[in-house]
Amino acid sequence: MKLLVKKSVQSAIFIFSLMFLFALTSCRSGSPKEEWTSLFNGKDLSGWKIKISGHEIGDNYKNTFRVEDGKLVVSYDEYEKFDNEFGHIFYEKPFSNYVVRLEYRFIGDQVPGGPGWAFRNNGIMFHSQSPESMRLDQDFPVSIEAQLLGGNGTDERSTGNVCTPGTNIVMDDELITQHCTNSISETYHGDQWVTVEVIVHGSGDVYHVVNGDTVLVYEQSQYDENDADAQKLIPASGDLLLSEGYIALQAESHPTEFRKIEVKILEE
C-alpha cells in the first residue's frame, strides 16, 4: 500500500511538473491554440506585392518572381545582365508579434552584373515599410533583414545574419549602427534546403533560428534617424522604435527558391 501511495505521489508530481512546463512554454511563445498560417499558396503570387528598383509597384520586371513546382522562385533566366534591379516581394498585410518560418535554397549561377556581395545572398525583410511608400529607385525598403547566405563550397559563411537598411538595433545594451552583424550559424554549401525562423516580439526581442538553432538575438529595432528614407517614416512623436511592419523576400541577383512560407501570431 505504501508503495502504491508513493507511486501515486510521484505520478502527481510528474504530471504537475509537465503542466507547469507546458504553461511556462505557452507564456513564452503564445497560446498553445495558435496555428501556423501559410502565406504562400504554392500556386500563384496571390497576397503578395512586387517592388523592383526603377519600376512601379506591381511591375514584375522580366518575370523575376514566379511560382514553379509549388515554390516561390527568384529567377534571372530572362535577364541578359543585372543593372541594380534589386527586388522585393511583400506580403500584403503587416505583422507585429509573430514567428515567420520558411525554407530556402540557392540554385544555379548568379546573373552577370550582380555585385560580388550578392552571391548566394537573399533575405527576409521584416518590420518593413510598405512597398507603396518606397521611392521608385529605392533599392531596399527601410526594414530589418534576416540575411540568408549560402557558402561557396570552401569558405565559412554564416547565414541568419542581421542587416539594417535605414534602421538600427540594440545588442547587449549597445546601439548597433553597422549595416550587418554576423550570426553564429554553420555554413550551408551547395543547393541544400535550410529552414529559418525569425521570432519577432514587436519592438522587443528578436531571435534568428537556423535549422533549429538560435544563432542571433537582439532587440529594440528602430529607425536610423540619419537615413534619408527612414526620416520620411519617423512619426510626428519622434518615436524611433519599430513595433510592426511588412514581411518581404528579396531578389538580389542570385536565383533562389522558397517554400513553406508560414507565420504564427504570438500574444503581445
- 135-175 pLDDT, tens digit per residue, is 999 999 999 999 999 999 999 999 999 999 999 999 999 99
As a whole number of angstroms, the distance between CA 148 and CA 50 comes to 19
How crowded is the C-beta side of 166, counted as CA atoms within 13 Å? Answer: 20
Residue 44 scores a pLDDT above 70: yes
CA angle in degrees (0–180, nearest 5) for 121-127-128? 65
- Which residue type sits at 263? V
- Based on the domain organization, do 60 and 155 belong to the same domain? yes
Which residues make beta-bridge pairs with 52? 87
Query: Do residues 65 and 50 lie in contact, with contact meaning Cβ atoms separated by under 8 Å?
Result: yes
- Based on the domain organization, do 1 and 90 belong to the same domain? no
- Based on the domain organization, do 18 and 112 belong to the same domain? no
Whole domain around residue 210: which residue ranges? Answer: 34-265
Share above pLDDT 70 across residues of the chain, in percent, rounded to a whole number = 87
Q: How many CB atoms lie within 10 A of CB 220?
A: 18
Closest CA to 165 of 135, 134, 144: 144
Burial of 226 (0-12, 13-18, 19+ CB in 10 A): exposed
- Based on the domain organization, do 13 and 90 belong to the same domain? no
Task: Give me the pLDDT at residue 121, please.
Answer: 98
In this prediction, residues 72-80 reach a mean pLDDT of: 98
How crowded is the C-beta side of 47, counted as CA atoms within 13 Å? Answer: 16
- Based on the domain organization, do 28 and 39 belong to the same domain? no
Residue 30 scores a pLDDT above 90: no
* pLDDT tens string 194-227: 999 999 999 999 999 999 999 999 999 999 999 9
Helix (H) or strand (E) holding 145, with range, is strand 144-149
Task: Give me the pLDDT at residue 34, please.
Answer: 67
- Based on the domain organization, do 12 and 112 belong to the same domain? no
Note the pTM of the prediction, 2 decimals: 0.87
- Based on the domain organization, do 217 and 204 belong to the same domain? yes
Give the contacts of 91 (CB within 8 A, at least 6 positions apart).
Answer: 39, 47, 48, 246, 247, 248
Confidence class for position 268, pLDDT limits 50, 70, 90: confident
The domain total for the chain is 2
- Based on the domain organization, do 93 and 223 belong to the same domain? yes
| CATH number of domain containing 86 | 2.60.120.560
- Based on the domain organization, do 24 and 112 belong to the same domain? no
- Based on the domain organization, do 77 and 207 belong to the same domain? yes
- Based on the domain organization, do 16 and 55 belong to the same domain? no
